[in-house]
Structure 1
Amino acid sequence: MAALRKWLFSGLLVLVPLIITLWVLDWVVSTLDQTLRILPMAWQPDRWLGMHIPGLGVVFALVVVLSIGAMASNIIGNKLVHWWHALLHRIPVVRSIYSGVKQVSDTLFSEKGNAFRQALLVQWPHDGMWTIAFLTGAPAGELARHLPDDCLSVYVPTTPNPTGGYFVMVPRSRCVELAMSVDEALTYVISMGVIVPGGPKNPKLKTVVA
């Protein structure tokens, strides 16, 4: 029985990551394949090929994104993008949603963005309980008037799904910079602490400085 149990867990350790990886890839490919539906029926690959080839939607989505990026990089395309932004900002309900989403996307995807550039250790949700967080910036505007000057804006992810979490503002003195990359910190969060970056030893820490 002990040998059977060992073989069972060994098999699960091999198969579970592989199955989950294949499932995620299948979901991504299947989702992107839906983008082909925006094409006219006569232009859809399934119709003129006579068969469905998984992954064509990925290629199509990549071509669309690259084409829009190339168009937005020239003078005429840049003017069209500004005109489109101005139009959306005039629609009452759409304006608030689009502005917030655009600011987040500009921060995350811009080459000059500073989002998720640093992994931190903060006390959350109360003193004496520590968790991993990511530095996103510093409070500004109206918020800065009501907070101490040394506060930082941080994102505290949940586990095992880091896309959900909490945005908090904490004093700089209560944040500890982790000597690990953002990817390593995300891996640690997603694995619920099972995968320790750098091995079993605790990562080297230092106080966050300006």
Structure 2
Amino acid sequence: MGSSIDYTSPSTQFTFDVNKSTFVKKDSQNFINVLGIQQLNTLNNVSLLDIYLSANNVIEPHYHQNAAELVYCISGALTVSLMNPFTKQMQHYPITPGQVANVPQGWWHYEVATEDHTHLLAIFNAPTPEVILGSDILKLTPASIMAHTYCLDKTQWKKAIAPVIPSTFIGPPASCNKTTESNAQHNPNFINHHDSHGYTMQELNPYYRPYYHHQNY
């Protein structure tokens, strides 16, 4: 199969610094760089997201409508969770440096960092990674449709999703109140193992492994 790329053109690019291509940034420890055909015009059916996360940060639930995703852990540790549309079950895969998890095209999934300084590559078999985010689905679907379809109270639904920020990408938001229950002061191992709604990290991520020194998250 022939290529449409003119490899003799002076505008043809063969190298690129991904560090200079920030896609989204939550803070200095949680951000995503992107490499696609817009950044490097000799790419064919490959692109990637260069992702940095601190412990307990989440690449929000989403799916890629145009590509499968291969998640490669460079440093730290994370759990890749996906919903198998055939078994209707959530599957959780903890990975550490040198290990990978594969997400088929169009499958609902998310990633949770279980250590600070987690670095991963998300590699796609498409020249541009496209995505549909859970936060956008929640905010853009009319509340009246959600309420009618699932027999919900429209007012309660609107109140429940009011704090959701469209295109969150990396959660929880920096403004999220992470205060734990009052008994945390009596149990140092309890700190930062609950989210703002009282869910344990084990409930959110069955393979979560606590690291008690992460106090700045």
TM-score calculated relative to the size of structure 2: 0.25
Compare CA radii of gyration and give the structure with the larger one.
1
More helix by share: 1
State the structure with bigger RCO (CA 8 A, min sep 6), 1 or 2: 2
